[in-house]
């Protein structure tokens, strides 16, 4: 059974009031001139600008799942703050035609490196944006509002440093990706 079918089965068992959990990262870096930048990727189906996100992995820490999604979907690695920076909700269109309400727990990721070749490169675009540009581009209104608020207090990104670093997460995340 493929992942989409498993999710559709899961959704059919979920009460309409319940939410499915997803994890994501808000990838960021600070340019030499001090300007914060946020990395967004496009969704595979409709090309909307989003953050890397996906489903938690059974028996694994949410940070590991978030790190893996960033690696697979955006070809990035870095340090993830162990405390979520925000949450947002959206309606996910499933392959079956059903919609599921999802709650995405988002962790900040200070990007340390980008790959030139990664798993989903042919399926997505990735691009660095200023905070204001990212807020304008993001398809999810709740997340866009959070990013816009960061524009007024960009130091909040730096406060999330103190982190579960890539060294701790990389072996678990890479073993999960195999």
**Torsion over CA: 66, 67, 72, 78 (sign):** positive
Give per-residue pLDDT as tens, 8-49.
Answer: 455 444 444 589 999 999 999 999 998 999 999 999 888 999
Does residue 137 carry a pLDDT above 50?
yes
Residue 53: the pLDDT is: 96
Q: Residue written as tokens 């703050």? A: 81
122-146: average pLDDT: 95
Does residue 139 carry a pLDDT above 60?
yes
149-158: average pLDDT: 79
- For residue 139, how far is the Cα from the chain centroid? 13
Mean pLDDT of the chain: 83
Cα separation, 107 vs 53, whole angstroms: 10
45-54: average pLDDT: 94
Between helix 166-177 and helix 62-69 the angle, nearest 10°, is 70
Beta-carbon count within 10 A of 140 CB: 19
Structural domains of the chain, with CATH: 3-166 (3.90.79.10)
Q: At residue 120, what are phi and psi to the nearest 5 degrees?
A: -105, 20
Residue 166: the pLDDT is: 39
pLDDT classification of 83: cutoffs 50, 70, 90: confident
Cα separation, 165 vs 139, whole angstroms: 29
Residue 82: the pLDDT is: 87
pTM of structure: 0.79
Tokens of 151: 């524009």
């Amino acid at each position: 059974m493929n992942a989409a079918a498993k999710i559709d089965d899961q959704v059919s068992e979920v009460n309409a009031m319940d939410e499915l959990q997803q994890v994501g990262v808000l990838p960021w870096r600070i340019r030499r001139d001090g300007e914060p930048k946020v990395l967004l990727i496009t969704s595979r189906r409709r090309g909307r600008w989003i953050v890397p996100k996906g489903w938690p992995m059974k028996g694994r820490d949410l940070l590991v799942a978030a790190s893996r999604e960033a690696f697979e979907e955006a070809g990035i690695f870095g340090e993830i703050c162990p405390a979520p920076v925000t949450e947002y909700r959206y309606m996910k269109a499933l392959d079956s035609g059903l919609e599921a309400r999802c709650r995405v727990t988002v962790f900040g990721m200070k990007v340390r490196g980008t790959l030139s070749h990664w798993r989903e490169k042919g399926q997505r675009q990735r691009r660095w944006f200023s905070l204001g540009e990212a807020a304008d581009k993001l398809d999810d209104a709740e997340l866009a509002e959070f990013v816009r608020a960061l524009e007024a207090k960009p130091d909040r990104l730096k406060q999330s440093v103190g982190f579960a670093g890539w060294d701790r997460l990389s072996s678990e995340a890479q073993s999960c990706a195999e």
